[in-house]
C-alpha cells in the first residue's frame, strides 16, 4: 500500500505524519533546534516508523513563507530546503513545497464537527470564498474556494501585513502608541503573540499603569484570572481581529465563512467568545448588513496544517493542485 509523508514546519516545531487513505497517521512533533536539517529530522521520523528511504510515494512540506525556485530558507530557524538535495536524501521523486497558510486553508476541508466552535451563526455559501485568518507567531491570511468535483483551491496571501484598522479615538491612540516603537503598524504587529505584548504596553502607557507582565502567556493567564488590564488587552485584541477579518470578508466577497485558526486565540477562547469580536467584525457602516448570515468558526483542531498538506499532496498527485 502506497504511503506519503506530510510535514508542517515552523520556526520552533516541525510536525510530520504519514498520509494514507485520505488521513493522517503517526503524527509526531520535533523541535527544529534539535536537528541540523529537515532531512535529518525526517530521517529520524522514518526510522521510527520502520520506513526505508525510497519507500515513500511522495513528500509534501508546508513551510512559512513564499515558496518559489529551487531553495527555501526559513525566516525563524537555521533550516533550509533545497529541492534536489531533499529528494536525493529521502530517495523520493515527488516533493511538493507549499506555503503554510495554503496548507492551513486546505486543512479546513477536513475539519470534524468537534474541531470548530461557532462564533457567529450563519450558513456558508460554498459558491463564494471562505476567509482563513490566524494569529500565531505572525498573522496568517488565506482564502479557500470550493471547485467542481469536490476539489478545493486555496490562495495564500500577505493579508496579515495590511494596515491595522482603527474605528475610534481610543484605537487610534493605541495604534499611535505602538507606532512610536515599531514605525508602521500592520495587523500582524498587533494580532500575533508578540503583538499581544505590544498591545499590553500601549494600553499600560495610555492608562497610566506600570507594566508587570512580560510575556504573551502571562497576559493570557492574567486575563483568564480576571486581572482588569489584561482583560482590556484581550478585549481590544479581539476587536482588532474582528475589524481585520471583516475587511477580509469585504475584499474577498467571503460569504463562504470565516475560520479563525492559529495558536493564540484558542488559549483564551472563553474570553474571545464573549468579546466584542462579532460587533467589530460587522461594524462596516453602510455595508454592515452584508455580514448577516456569514458564519464564523474558531478552529480548535491541532494539526490542520498537516491535514492541508495531505489534501494538497493528494490533489497534486491527481494533477489538480492549485499550489
Cell output for 217: 502567556
Closest by CA position to 131, among listed 226, 262, 251: 251
65 annotated ligand binder: no
160 annotated ligand binder: no
7 annotated ligand binder: yes
8 annotated ligand binder: yes
215 annotated ligand binder: no
138 annotated ligand binder: no
Q: Rounded to an integer, what distance in angstroms lies between the CA atom of residue 73 and that of residue 322?
A: 22
Q: Rounded to an integer, what distance in angstroms lies between the CA atom of residue 3 and that of residue 317?
A: 12
Cβ atoms of 29 and 305 within 8 Å: the answer is: no
Annotated binding site for ATP: 7-12
Annotated binding site: 7-12
Amino acid at each position: 500500500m502506497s504511503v506519503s509523508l506530510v510535514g508542517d514546519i515552523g520556526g520552533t516545531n516541525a510536525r510530520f505524519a504519514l498520509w494514507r487513505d485520505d488521513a493522517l497517521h503517526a503524527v509526531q512533533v520535533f523541535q527544529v533546534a534539535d536537528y541540523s536539517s529537515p532531512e535529518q529530522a525526517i530521517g529520524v521520523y522514518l526510522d521510527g516508523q520502520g520506513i526505508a528511504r525510497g519507500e515513500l510515494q511522495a513528500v509534501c512540506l508546508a513551510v512559512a513563507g513564499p515558496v518559489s525556485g529551487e531553495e527555501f530558507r526559513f525566516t525563524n530557524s537555521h533550516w533550509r530546503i533545497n529541492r534536489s538535495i531533499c529528494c536525493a536524501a529521502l530517495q523520493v521523486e515527488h516533493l511538493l513545497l507549499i506555503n503554510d497558510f495554503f496548507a492551513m486553508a486546505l486543512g479546513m476541508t477536513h475539519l470534524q464537527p468537534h474541531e470548530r466552535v461557532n462564533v457567529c451563526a450563519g450558513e456558508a455559501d460554498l459558491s463564494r470564498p471562505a476567509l482563513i485568518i490566524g494569529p500565531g507567531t505572525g498573522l496568517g491570511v488565506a482564502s479557500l474556494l470550493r471547485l467542481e468535483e469536490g476539489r478545493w483551491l486555496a490562495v495564500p496571501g500577505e493579508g496579515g501585513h495590511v494596515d491595522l484598522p482603527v474605528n475610534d479615538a481610543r484605537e487610534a491612540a493605541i495604534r499611535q502608541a505602538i507606532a512610536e516603537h515599531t514605525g508602521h503598524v500592520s495587523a500582524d504587529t498587533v494580532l500575533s503573540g508578540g503583538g499581544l505584548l505590544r498591545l499590553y504596553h500601549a494600553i499600560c502607557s495610555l492608562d497610566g499603569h506600570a507594566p508587570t507582565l512580560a510575556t504573551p502567556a502571562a497576559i493570557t493567564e492574567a486575563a483568564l484570572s480576571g486581572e482588569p488590564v489584561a482583560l482590556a488587552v484581550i478585549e481590544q485584541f479581539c476587536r482588532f481581529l474582528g475589524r481585520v477579518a471583516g475587511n477580509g470578508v469585504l475584499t474577498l466577497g467571503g460569504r463562504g465563512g470565516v475560520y479563525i485558526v492559529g495558536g493564540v486565540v484558542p488559549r483564551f477562547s472563553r474570553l474571545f467568545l464573549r468579546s466584542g469580536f462579532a460587533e467589530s467584525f460587522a461594524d462596516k457602516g453602510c455595508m454592515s448588513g452584508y455580514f448577516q448570515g456569514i458564519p464564523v468558526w474558531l478552529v480548535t483542531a491541532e494539526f490542520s496544517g498537516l491535514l492541508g498538506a495531505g489534501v494538497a499532496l493528494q490533489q497534486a498527485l491527481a494533477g489538480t493542485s492549485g499550489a
